[in-house]
Amino acid sequence: MEPIVVTNLTKVYKSAFGKRNVTALQNFSLEVPQGTIFGLLGPNGAGKTTLVKVLLSIVYPTAGDAKLFGQSISNSAVRKRTGYLPENHKFPQYLSAEGLLKFVAQINDYHDKNLNYKIDELLSLVNMTKWKRTKIKKYSKGMMQRLGLAQALINNPDLIFLDEPTDGIDPIGRKEIRDILKNLKDSGKTIFLNSHLLSEVEMISDKVAILNKGQLITQGTVDDLTSTKEVYEIILESLLENSLLQREFSNLQIENQEKHIYSARMEDLPSLNAMIDKLRNNRINIVSIIPKKVSLEDMFISLINESDKKN
């Protein structure tokens, strides 16, 4: 059973007289497989947070359907299997980390004889052990974020929604959080990640979806989305002679003279193989041929620009 299945979901925020209705999600469909880290990307106002809020019944959908673990999102019991770290969360300032985790466990209807042990374990996981009994009002932004992650995990959820989880956290802390998320994934949990930090998403996500103005632009694995089809990076043992390059290999572009790196745009695989044959016939040694990749950020910007032009 897929943890998340969204079908033709639409959410319109209606204003009092209908003059300023905002469509946050438009016929949005998505499936998130179990045991993956799924990254949802999009510019501000794309509808990322709205999607998570709809899935957790904080916001109601206008049309369409959404299911968590095969059950309707309107069934509150399904939320026992979820954990959530909202963006800009605000915990009761008068509670301590321990108090908050106990409250969240209770309200999640989570029963564990060893709850105190579980709390200690989670606080240790997010490096907050020594702040266990300190009031939340004394916490820094980074500490709040770590505690936020701990409360999202207190009920041992199968599906974890994280909205900007590394916001306000230093690079070492980010690395720690990435490791935590990878471990959770390895233990079979599904993680749904909303983030502006594309490099973070690129590093840990198995699959990503890009959302713009409430519409799904594309989705796939990070590798699929970042590999530029038909463009290859070719490293040769030595530089090609100019005359040979112009005469036989006009589709090769020099990228780095010192390292003998070329790029080639090939129409298909047979063309690539034909070029390899031609290089070998000319007794040129090939060091490597790698399909060229763009960064997730470049791909994201180009897709958003394209989508904006269409609209």
Partner 1 sequence: MKNIIILTKQTMQEAFARKVFITFFIVSAVTLILGSLLFMLTPLANFTTGMEESMKHSKIPITMDPLIMVVQILKNLIVFPLYTLGLFLSIFSVSSFIPNLLEKGHIDIILSKPVARSQVLIGKYLGGLIVVLLNVTFLVGGIWLLIGLKFSVWDTNFLYIILTVTFAFATLYSLIILIGILSQSHILSMMLCYIIFIAFSPVISKLHYAEFITNKFYKALVDILYYIHPKTADIWGMTESILKGEAIASYQPIYTSAAFLVLIFGLSIFIFSKKDY
Contact residues for partner 1, defined by CB under 8 A: 13, 53, 56-60, 76-80, 82, 84, 86-95, 103-104, 106-109, 151, 161
- Cβ neighbors of 152 (< 8 A, separation 6 or more) are 83, 84, 85, 160, 161, 162
Q: How far is the CB of 288 from partner 1 (least distance, A)?
A: 48
Strands (E), 42-144: 63-68, 71-72, 82-85
Least CB distance to partner 1 at residue 262 (A): 52
> Can you tell me whether residue 68 is helix, strand or coil?
strand
CB of 106 to partner 1, least distance (A): 5
* Closest approach of partner 1 to the CB of residue 291, in Å: 41
Is the Cβ of residue 7 or residue 75 nearer to partner 1 in the bound state?
Answer: 75
Q: Which is nearer to partner 1, 28 or 91 (CB)?
A: 91
Least distance (Å) between residue 179 CB and partner 1: 25
Apex 298 CA angle, 49 and 264, nearest 5: 150
- Rounded least distance, CB 162 to partner 1, Å: 12
Under a CB-based contact definition with an 8 Å cutoff, are residues 37 and 185 in contact? yes
> Which helix or strand (DSSP H or E) is residue 124 part of?
helix 115-125
Contact criterion met (CB below 8 Å) for 5 and 28: no
Residue number, 39 or 83, with CB nearest to partner 1: 83
Q: Between the CA atoms of 98, 191, 107 and 114, what dihedral angle is there, to the nearest 10 degrees?
A: -50
How near is the Cβ of 200 to partner 1 at its closest, in Å?
Answer: 21
Neighbours of 244 (CB within 10 A): 12
DSSP state of 162: E
How many other β-carbons are positioned within 10 Å of the β-carbon of residue 19? 7
Residue 150 vs 234, nearer CB to partner 1:
150
Q: Among residues 74 and 302, whose Cβ is nearest to partner 1?
A: 74
Q: What DSSP state is assigned to residue 135?
A: B
With respect to partner 1, which residue has the nearer C-beta, 57 or 127? Answer: 57
Rounded-to-integer distance, Cα 47 and Cα 26, Å: 9
Q: Do residues 64 and 8 lie in contact, with contact meaning Cβ atoms separated by under 8 Å?
A: yes
As given in the structure block, the two tokens for residue 229 are: 């089809």
Give whichever of 144 and 198 is closer to partner 1, judged by the CB atom: 144
